[in-house]
Chain A
């Protein structure tokens, strides 16, 4: 069994005295696409950051399991790919240099063929040697997908994945999510979590967590 599972238990998050959400209990299983929806400020990005182990919940816990074995917090990044508008890559490097550095820091050998394939799929191949500083916001967003997929993660967390993208870019993202692999030997049972307000993004999801529900629940208590 190479199942990937993320279990959220009793998640509560406060920023200062302001409650963001409370009482989130949920299990995400590999091979499925999940959505997180809600109006602006409802805590979608906060929740995905907690799932990605980027910030801590005020209460509750997030457990990542691979083949039913819990993954150590310091190792979660090996299994995780993350895309969001508030993620920034290094402007002073080219797209390929960014990917080379990321692969090496992860402790992987840089796979040039796969990197070229990803950049080609994301229509960045021709500009791969240009500094990221000169990229448009849409191109930077595409590059983030290469960053997220380069190490063949088991879980892909996408926060507003189609922001800044043109229609062709959006189609490519939907194709990556629904068809999954761009590499033949890549795992076909990724766990994908999408946080978005876009109906088109959420239409790919099997199950959707509505953040507003978790705020109301607590407020009524």
Chain B
């Protein structure tokens, strides 16, 4: 409940300042436009559109999700949060906020891809949805803990994608594989290993993040 209250505070703040939403929307539009201009009238393979989808999602996450903690640090309100809530409440509240942003962002990107790229065809929609669901959770959890780490660093802007790359790489590779499977029309039963990897990634990242956050949060 306390974490939900913190999420409500962040959401109301976001609605008023629109910092993360605007950054994400602009990034998505610019990236997809650049891809479309560079492709021109060329026909691209469906696997390539699947790969491009996760590239856009990865870099969009880099542009907007760090705000969860960086905005608090920049406004000097980190101490205010320390004075009103325990570290686990703060991490949970920020995670809920990033989960919502990731799901909204990725649904928008996927819809845009479906409309703009005719070769982006998913044959097994349920497999894609499973990958999409667990992938989004993984991105949100990883982005939140990385945001907490970089908020304490000097060069926040450059550090975020650099630190995110090795942490998100196993997740993105698994998601690419599952997207390919769903484009091929593979059954869910045939992709259980990849799904298990995805679920394990989410569980490990969530547990590690909660354990780590106490040390990151307090100077």
Contact = CB atoms under 8 A, between A and B. Distances in A.
Interface of A: 52-56, 74-75, 77, 80, 82, 86-93, 97, 101-102, 104-107, 147
B60 to A, nearest CB: 24
Contacts of A104: 2, 5, 8-9
Nearest to B219: A55
A105 B7 CA distance: 9
B162 interface: no
B71 to A, nearest CB: 10
B79 A107 contact: no
Nearest to B17: A92
Q: Is the interface of B mostly helix, strand, loop or mixed?
A: helix
Given A55-B218, A107-B2, A91 B75 contact: yes
A109 B12 CA distance: 19
Q: How large is the interface on B (under 10, 10 to 19, 20 to 34, 35 or more residues)?
A: 20 to 34
22 contacts: A54-B218, A54-B219, A55-B218, A56-B218, A74-B86, A75-B86, A88-B76, A88-B77, A89-B77, A90-B9, A92-B13, A92-B16, A92-B17, A93-B16, A101-B12, A104-B2, A105-B6, A105-B81, A105-B93, A106-B85, A107-B5, A147-B80
B111 interface: no
B17 A101 contact: no
A74 B89 CA distance: 10
Contacts of A90: 9, 13, 75, 77, 80
Given A54-B79, A87-B79, A74 B16 contact: no
